[in-house]
Structure 1
Amino acid sequence: MFGIIRPCRNRLSDSLRTAWLAHLCGLCLALRDDHGQLARLVTNYDGLVVSALVEAQAGQRGRRRSAGPCALRGMRGADVARGEGARLAAAVSLVLASAKVDDHVADGDGLFARRPVAGSARVVARRWAEQGARTGRAVGFDTAVLVDAVRRQQDVERGARLGTSVLDVTEPTETATAAAFAHTAVVAGRPGNQDALAEAGRLFGRVAHLLDAVEDLAEDERLGAWNPLLATGTDLAEARRLCDDAVTGVALALKDAEFIDDELVHALLVHELQHAVRRVFAQVGPPGQPGQPGQPGQHDSTCPVHDRPDDQRRATEGLSEQPPGPDGPPPPAPPAPPKSPRHALRDEPERRCLCWRWPKLTKPPTTRGLVVGCFALLYECGTCQQCLRDPFPGAWTGKWRVSCGNGCDCGTCDCGQCDCCCCPCDC
């Protein structure tokens, strides 16, 4: 799964996490029901926002259905989103995934540089584009605006030079997301929300494009690949400013729209978007830059642990509290093992099925051979452990790894509107 909005389980209340999972599963099942098992590969965290927007405007009545057991839910059933909102999200996800595959093929990224892989990828991408267009027509959405935006993106990138505004490069993405967000108002029967949601979608697309560029910056610079920040000469400080302004604009645009229940939408498009910006810039920002901790793995300055007084923070981090001696302060003690709930093993039988109890996390780690490691990798992917289990054991090394969907970058909420992102964990 991919996307910039990856809620931490400790930031969402039980009701919000249940609602978020309902839309994620609803998108996945809509893809399966309309287009087969292979289409479920395009399920992504950002696409479910489209489904959540429809439900927030129209209400839940008649928009949920019962689904059977699934490995992602620990082999438990659940009520999942259904209807035109989920199908619109599926159409958008298919078309954008098709464009992403085409882009990788055109750039010759990784395995896509090999002719057999590139040929197969083109066939799959073409099929996804056709399927997305068909589903879009079923819910009254013309996916041509998305396809046109993708085509214009390539032309815009070829014309970008040093001094070109990076917003010129993000414009096609903004146009595509604006169209998708605006159509949720049509599907939900609230046409008056179209302008406000189009503005929210436009700014969301800007953030998504910029964060993708920031995440790829080091790798693109190393390989000499095209990157909008490098091509236009935009530095990280300016990219951060544009992202922060866009996040604020999304929050203001949502206030101009009418919702029946906007709690989940507010959590995803306001707070989780803020966390996404913090997370990405904390990983790549230069040391000492305000608001950007600088080294990969460092904590966000908004983390509750780092907001504590110095003596309290030293105790939390396992640092010596002895006063400095004549030779200076004592060396720091080894960091204490993580105590965050996200690092706790989630193998309890009442919470997870047998799928989550293998491979086991052992101490010292169990090293597996090539063949057994391959089987472990396939098993973990098939049971969604690498997305949901946190931590999960490495397939070959047995060492614990942080799952791709549950990185905890918790902060605090001072918006006065909700308590959706108050996090009790020790980051």
Structure 2
Amino acid sequence: MFGILRPCADHSCAAVLSAWRAHLCGLCLTLRDRHGQVARAATNYDGLVLSVLTEAQADRPPAHRTAGPCALRGFRSADVIASRDQGSRLAAVASLALAAGKIRDHAVDGDGPAGRRFAGAPLRRVATSWTAAAERDAASIGFDTRVLTAAAERQAVLEATGGLPLPRLTEPTEEAAAAAFAHTAILASTPHNAENLREAGRLFGRIAHLLDAVEDLEDDRARGRYNPLTATGTSLAETRRLCDDAVHGLGLAVRGLDLRERHLVEALLAGETRRAVDRAFAVRHTRPGPVRSAGAGLLTFVTCGLYRPPWSSHRDEPWTDRCRLGGDCCDCSACCDCCPCDCDCDCDCSP
């Protein structure tokens, strides 16, 4: 799972975590149900925002289902968004397309497993399969994935051009996110929200692109790989200013939306987005802990309804205790303040 929006139990109220989990697990199971087990590897924290936005605008809540036990929620069942829900399907489409694009980028750059001539061939075939699957499912909900693939192609051209300012390099990501955000208004039958959603998506895409560049900066320098900050000579201070401006604009765009339910949307696109910026620019201290990808990732792949292993040390552990499952959301002090909360849940947060 990847993305910038990672709510943590230390600062999020119970209502936000429960609703966020319903969309996250719903996205994971939508990928499995519609595209196979392997597709669950494309689960994207940021992609689930499309599911959240669709639900928040619709005149009635989406269909839910009870999911079986999963490693990442302590082998407990959970109430999740059903895989037939259009918002969850749009989130799955975007997640597949984004994951496929990342694999192709690594292949072109000769980086990682995907860049290996022979060993990377199966991964490249997966990317091709995911692209086709995204196109098929997107067509059934009226979304054209060509806006996503065209953005990726344009991104490669801009990066190869050289001499461009940083805002030009973030444009393809902005346009792709804007199109996906705006389509939630179509799915929810609230076309009057489309323009504000397009602006919100554009700004969210800018933030995601910049934070990805910030987090990869040192590694890219060490490996001699392309990074938009290095290529444009943009300082971290200027990048932070661009992020802060985008976060402010994103908040204004969200405030202008006509929503049936605002709480989760504002918690993610206002509070969590700002925390993501703080986290990316903070000094990160690595703390020892269990390896998530090899342990919990494998358990997630083979569970979710199959069985509940009696030997698991996480058998009775709540899913929201993410830090003990190897999550990194609590690795900076900026993340662990209590969220402003005006909901009716039983939490210690205050407005």
Does the aligned pair in 1 maintain the 2:13–2:339 contact within 8 Å? no
Counterparts of 1:36 and 1:169 in 2: how far apart (Å)? 34
1:23-50 alpha-carbon deviations (Å, 9 max, x no partner)? 0011011111111101000001111111
Cα contact 2:217–2:227 (8 A) shared by 1: yes
Equivalent position of 1:160 in the other structure: 162
How is 1:253-268 mapped onto 2 (pairs within 5 angstroms)?
253-268=253-268
Amino acid at match of 2:232: T
How far is the alpha carbon of 1:12 from its aligned partner? 1.5
Matched residues in 2 for 1:231 and 1:423: separation?
45
SS at match of 1:65: strand
RMSD over aligned CA atoms reads 2.8
Correspondence for 2:249? 249
1:13 aligns with 2:46: no
> Which SS does the other structure have where 2:118 is aligned?
helix
Cα deviation, 1:162-203, whole Å, max 9, x if unaligned, reads: xx3101000000000000000001001101000000100000
Residue 49 in 1 paired to residue 37 in 2?
Answer: no
Given that 1:30 and 1:90 are in contact with CA atoms closer than 8 Å, whether structure 2 keeps it comes out as: yes
Identity rate, percent: 50
Give, in whole Å, the separation in 1 of the partners of 2:184 and 2:293.
38
Query: Map of 1:29-108 to 2, 5 A cutoff?
Result: 29-58=29-58, 61-82=61-82, 83-108=85-110
The offset of 1:80, in angstroms, is 0.8
Query: Deviation at 1:390?
Result: 2.6
SS state of the match for residue 44, structure 2?
coil
Q: Say if 2:285 is the partner of 1:297.
A: yes
Q: Distance in 2 between matches of 1:423 and 1:146?
A: 41
Alpha-carbon distance between aligned partners in 1 of 2:249 and 2:296, rounded to the nearest angstrom: 39
Against the structure 1 CA distance between its residues 204 and 389, is the aligned structure 2 distance closer, same or farther, given a 3 Å change threshold? closer
Instruction: Letter of the 1:143 partner, please give it.
Output: T
Residue 143 of structure 1: aligned partner: 145
TM-score with structure 2 setting the length = 0.86
Partner of 1:286: none
CA contact (8 A) 1:8 1:407 kept: no
Larger RCO: Structure 1 or Structure 2 (Cα < 8 Å, ≥ 6 residues apart)? 2
The answer for unaligned runs of 5 or more in structure 1 is 284-295, 299-337, 346-358, 360-372, 393-401
Q: Distance in 2 between matches of 1:35 and 1:110?
A: 24
CA distance in structure 1 between the aligned counterparts of 2:110 and 2:344, rounded to whole angstroms = 45
Q: Which residue of 2 aligns with 1:397?
A: none
Q: Does structure 1 residue 391 correspond to structure 2 residue 315?
A: no
Query: How far apart, in 1, do the equivalents of 2:229 and 2:238 lie?
Result: 10
Secondary structure at 2:120's aligned position in 1? helix
In structure 2, the residue corresponding to 1:182 is in which secondary structure? helix
Name the residue aligned to 2:298: 382
Amino acid of the residue matched to residue 297 of structure 1? Answer: H
The answer to whether the 8 A contact 2:9-2:321 is kept is no
Q: Residue 73 of structure 2 aligns to which amino acid in structure 1?
A: R
Q: Contact 2:64/2:80 (CA < 8 Å) preserved in 1?
A: yes
1:45-102 Cα deviation digits (max 9, x unpaired):
1111110000111155342222222222222222111200000000011011111110
Q: CA deviation at 1:231?
A: 0.5
Q: Secondary structure at the match of 2:78?
A: strand
Aligned residues: 327
Q: Is the 8 A contact 1:9 1:406 kept in 2?
A: no
Structure 1 counterpart of 2:115: 113
Tell me the CA shift for residue 229 of structure 1: 0.5
Question: SS in structure 1 opposite 2:67?
Answer: strand
How far apart are the structure 1 equivalents of 2:339 and 2:98?
A: 32
- Does structure 1 residue 210 correspond to structure 2 residue 198? no
Q: Distance in 1 between matches of 2:208 and 2:342?
A: 24
In terms of mean alpha carbon deviation, does 225-234 or 66-75 score higher? 66-75
Residue 305 of structure 2: aligned partner: none
**C-alpha displacement at 1:232, in angstroms?**
0.8
Q: What CA distance in whole angstroms lies between the structure 2 residues aligned with 1:259 and 1:201?
A: 16
8 Å CA contact 1:53, 1:265 repeated in 2: yes
Deviations 1:281-314 (A, max 9, x none): 013xxxxxxxxxxxx339xxxxxxxxxxxxxxxx
Contact preservation (8 Å) 1:387, 1:404: no
1:407 Cα deviation after fit: 4.2
In structure 2, what is the Cα distance between the partners aligned to 1:406 and 1:117? Answer: 36
For 1:69, what is the secondary structure of its paired residue? Answer: strand
| TM-score, structure 1 as length reference | 0.71
**Counterpart residue type for residue 53 of structure 2:** L
Q: Which amino acid aligns with 2:215?
A: E
Report the CA distance shift for 1:59/1:6 in structure 2 as closer, same or farther (over 3 A).
Answer: farther
Q: 1:381 is aligned with what amino acid?
A: G
- Which residue identity lines up with residue 108 of structure 2 in the other structure? A
Give 1:411's aligned residue. Answer: 337
2:184 alignment partner in structure 1: 184
Q: Distance in 2 between matches of 1:258 and 1:155?
A: 37
Q: Quick check: 1:214–1:280 contact (8 Å CA) kept in 2?
A: yes
CA apart distance, 1:406: 5.2
